[in-house]
Amino acid sequence: MNAFERMNMVIDYIEENITEEINYKQAAAIACCPQNQFQRFFSYITEITLTEYIRRRRLTLSAFELQKGKLRVIDVALKYGYDSHASFTRAFRDFHGISPTKARNKSTVFNIYPKLTFQIQNMNKERSDSKMAVLGKIEFIELPAVRMIGKKVVNGGGNNPVPELWEKCFRENTFDVLECSSPVIEYYIGWMGEYNNETGTFTYLAGMLMPAGMKVPDGFDYRDLQSCIVGNGFINGDFANGDVFSHSHDLMVGGILENGYEPDYSYGWSAEVYAKDLSFDAEEGTINYFCPCKKLHV
């Protein structure tokens, strides 16, 4: 089963539970994807957030309910998740341009948002957006089993501790001990994994990819990574406002899918990759981004 088939299963789950509270954690589980990455993936390929998609589907279906004329407006409002006549009327008018009462007219034309269906062709459409970051190119490489060794923080709970972590590591020459031990890749790595759907947090390791089984220096954390195919993307963008960092994963997902692969979230990680001569003081530049992936079976 490929990524698009799983996304169609997610859409079916939403349709079957459209009058109930949609469990985003369950939707992500159907997609076999961490919840926060699933919501970003959904937004990337649909150009609409999951929350907004559900809202539009509910307002579309509620219009048909009203036109049938069997339920009162308040009953339809409650059925589709609105807690009052007023809040439903306001949302309905904003979406359809008419009041719920006028929707009972059989000749009324609604603003219909259809149920989504995903196909591989979806990714080949032209995208027009204002991102100040672009995927310059992407290649697929075989990464051997390695040991990721670095300094750890937990991110995603509010203030971002990652910039301060990197600054401290460079100021204290933290990576000298790793650079003297034959790293597998002569780049600095920002490893991200162990996503917690309940808290919205994840583990971030700043360090280097070292040979599998290497002894871990005192004061460092590590994660052993299995061999896998990784998409290696070259992300060009604006350092000043952070676009190159905030859009890297979304750009990678698009590039991976367009090249006949799909992200393999079973490995549970992705990584920012920084050349040693990279200057974060520059207004713009290029970083690499690793994402485990697998062939997309059609």
pLDDT at 242: 67
| Contact status, residue 231 vs residue 256, Cβ threshold 8 Å | yes
pTM (2 decimals)?
A: 0.68
Question: In whole angstroms, what is the distance from residue 213 CA to residue 235 CA?
Answer: 31
pLDDT of 128 strictly over 50 = no
Question: In whole angstroms, what is the distance from residue 263 CA to residue 244 CA?
Answer: 20
pLDDT digits (tens, 9 = 90+) for 224-237: 999 999 999 999 88
- Boundary residue ending a domain (54, 87, 104): 104
For residue 282, the one-letter residue type is A
- Boundary residue ending a domain (65, 89, 104): 104
Mean pLDDT confidence for 45-66: 92
The token pair at 110 is 């609604």
pLDDT digits (tens, 9 = 90+) for 185-233: 999 999 999 988 777 789 999 999 999 999 999 999 999 999 999 999 9
Which band of pLDDT confidence, cut at 50, 70 and 90, is reported for residue 125?
Answer: very low
Domain that residue 194 falls in: 133-295
> What are the E-state strand segments in 66-131?
none
CA angle 228, 230, 235 (to 5 degrees): 165
Same domain as 42, residue 139: no
pLDDT at 220: 98
User: Which domain CATH number covers 151?
Assistant: 3.20.80.10
